Every structure is written in C-alpha cells, then in structure tokens.
Amino acid sequence: MKALTWHGKRDVRVDTVPDPTITDPTDIIVRITSTGICGSDLHLYEVLGPYLDPGDILGHEPMGIVEEIGPEVTAVSVGDRVVVPFNVSCGTCWMCGQGLHSQCETTQVKDRGMGASLFGFSKLYGQVPGGQAEFLRVPFSNTLPVKVPHGPPDQRFVYLSDVLPTAWQSVTYADIPPGGSVTVLGLGPIGDMAARIALHQGASKVIGVDLVPERLARARGRGVHTIDLKEHGKDVGEEIRHLTDGRGSDAVVEAVGMEAHGASLAKAAQQFAGLLPDALGEKVMGRAGVDSMAAFNTAVDAVRRGGTISLIGVYGGAVDPVPMLTLFDKQIQLRMGQANVKRWVDDILPLLDDEDVLGVDGFATHTLPLEEGPQAYKTFQAKQDGMIKTVLTP
C-alpha cells in the first residue's frame, strides 16, 4: 500500500509499504477514505525526530470502510463506515471506564512512563502505524471504532477522530460559566473548532487570538471577536481585560502549546536535541526539554482571577518554567491533557446532521490526494496558501 512515512526532520515521503494484516482476533482492516493532517503531526515533522524511526507511518485522523474483520469482531461488519479515534484504547479497562481513554491501562506505554498509545505518533506513544495510508489495522474493534452512516460526505464525520472531541474537551475543561466569556489562544483547527463549540454552547463572548490573517478572518466570520497578535503583541492581556470589564475572561483555552510564536530560545534547544543521535536526543528531551511558555503565560495573564485555563496545546518539555506564584495568587484552575475521544463522541454525533451547526462540512481548507501529502506538510508548517485544515484522500 501507499503510506506517508517519516524519514527525518521535514522529510515526509510517500512510500510503498506492506499492507497491514489482522494479528489479534478483534482487529479489523480499514480502507482509508479520508485522513487529516493535524497540528501535532508538525511536532513529528519538526521537533520529535529522536522518538521516530525512518519509515514510521504517520497520521491519527482517519476514517474509511471496513475491509476485513477478525474472528471475534461483532460490533462492525465488512462494508461498515467507521471513524478511528486517535487514542488506541481498549474501552474495557478501569481508565476507559472513567472516560479517560487517553490513559487506557491496556495500551499505556509503561516503559516510557506515558499514557495510552496513539496511532501514527512516536515511540513515546507506542510507535503504532498511523492512518495517513491506504489501509490501517485497528485493534479493539468491538469498542474502539465509531460507526457512522453511509451517505453524507466524509468531512461530516472525519473530525470525530481528533478535532471535534479535542476541541469539545477543551471547552468542557474550560468550565465557562453560563453566559460567560472565553479567550481562545491559537485559531488553528483545534482553536477554531473550540471557538465554534463555545459559541454553540452559549458563551456570551468568545475572543480569538492569532497572528495568521486567514485564521483571524475565518473566526470573525463565525462571530468570534478576534485579536491580531501582530498588532497587540505583549499587550494582548490588556486588550482582553478591556473587552471583559477589566477582569480578564472567565476562561482561556490555550490551543497553541509548544508551537508558540517567537520561541527562539526553546526552538534552538529543540533543534539541538534533534541533531543528537536518537538515544542521546531522547535523553536530552526527556530530562531537560524546554518549551516556549509564551502562550501559556499569555493565558495566565488573560484569565480573570478565579478563572480556568484549559490547556489543549501539546507540550513536551520536562523542565518548563511555570509561574506558580501568579497561578496561586490569581486562584487559577488549570486543566489539561490528551483528549479522551470516545468519551465525547455521543455528545457530538447529534450535531453532525444536515444543519451542520459547527460548520464541519466546509471546515477543511484543502482536500488533497495522499500523494500530495509531503507538500501539504511543508505548506502547513509554513502557514502558507491559507492552509488551516487539510484532509488527504488515499
């Protein structure tokens, strides 16, 4: 089959690789019809090389048609249309029972002290082959895949793999009071969708912060009050207080993470670790990794006293400096973590009808064949061509 594979920093290729096969009785093989490129894929493309091997298959936002089933699969049949959540979760362990599918005890990467395995990520998360490919082996298929109806276009449902539940969790964790305000830092796919969900759920004011003109314009078109980081710079917090009776917003969704703009020192440290041999690079990142804290510090500044920060942007640093004095003094509540996809699916599915209240049908800015994946990674990383969300079609 054809698959997008990692070969080094900023080096993603379309390779011919062996087809996946059923290895456990509850496995299925899915023929992928649509698969997204995620902002966290750029962490693999740019930063996390020490945790990858050449030939690793990328991607964790797939959907498609069931082509083959294992002998103990009862929940889906050949020909069914399914979305594959990015958490590789069993659905039956204690953690999954608590709705913490990203902490699945069956697939935790215990030798690295990490949570549940993820499709198409890295050694940190199990090195499971991903879904930017023509076919995908999916385990735990009586509990993991999300069965969706035939008929509507793929883009009605493909975001159930990641974007929708991740954004939904970020808003839920933000705990916006009824009729309250929320600031969304970063209007990439997750931040954009989080803003839409917050508005749908009744937030009185949703403020979006970014520096990419296309992202700002897109959010404004959905009713978000936007702030251009290029215009306001370090005064973003002051502008947010001006819009919220001088207090700051009730909640902040931090959807930037370690890709924060202007992180020259942190970027240099990450690049240095990436140049080291893999074993040494892993040790440096795992014990002395530093992220830019620009977005997080902006969140701390922008949230009102007694408010909540929901941190959904990915961080990878082991020794990040956190402003504990300010967090304590402002009595800020902080929630974070990898999205628990299956926990939120039942809440989201009813919204994916012809009314399309969240605008999923037109959410992708680019739909491209799998063969154009390497160029899509370059364009997305450079924030060019108005690319905000790309869906590949194998």
User: Of 36-40, 171-175, 339-343, which range is least confident?
Assistant: 36-40
Residue 259 has pLDDT above 70, yes or no: no
Q: Percent of the chain having pLDDT more than 70?
A: 91
* pLDDT value for 257: 82
Cβ atoms of 42 and 34 closer than 8 Å: no
* pLDDT value for 315: 79
* pLDDT value for 262: 41
* pLDDT value for 280: 45
Q: Which residue has the tokens 């290895």?
A: 23
Cβ atoms of 248 and 241 closer than 8 Å: yes
- The predicted-structure confidence for 55-112, as pLDDT tens digits, reads as follows 999 999 999 999 999 999 999 999 999 999 999 999 999 999 999 999 999 999 999 9
- The predicted-structure confidence for 268-306, as pLDDT tens digits, reads as follows 444 544 444 555 445 444 444 455 788 999 999 999 999
- The predicted-structure confidence for 116-144, as pLDDT tens digits, reads as follows 999 999 899 999 999 999 999 999 999 99
* pLDDT value for 51: 86
**Structure tokens that stand for 180 in this block:** 């309250």
State if pTM tops 0.85. yes
Higher pLDDT, 349 or 263: 349
* pLDDT value for 167: 98
- The predicted-structure confidence for 201-245, as pLDDT tens digits, reads as follows 999 999 999 999 999 999 999 999 999 999 998 899 999 999 999
* pLDDT value for 270: 45
Handedness of CA 178, 257, 118, 187 (dihedral sign): positive
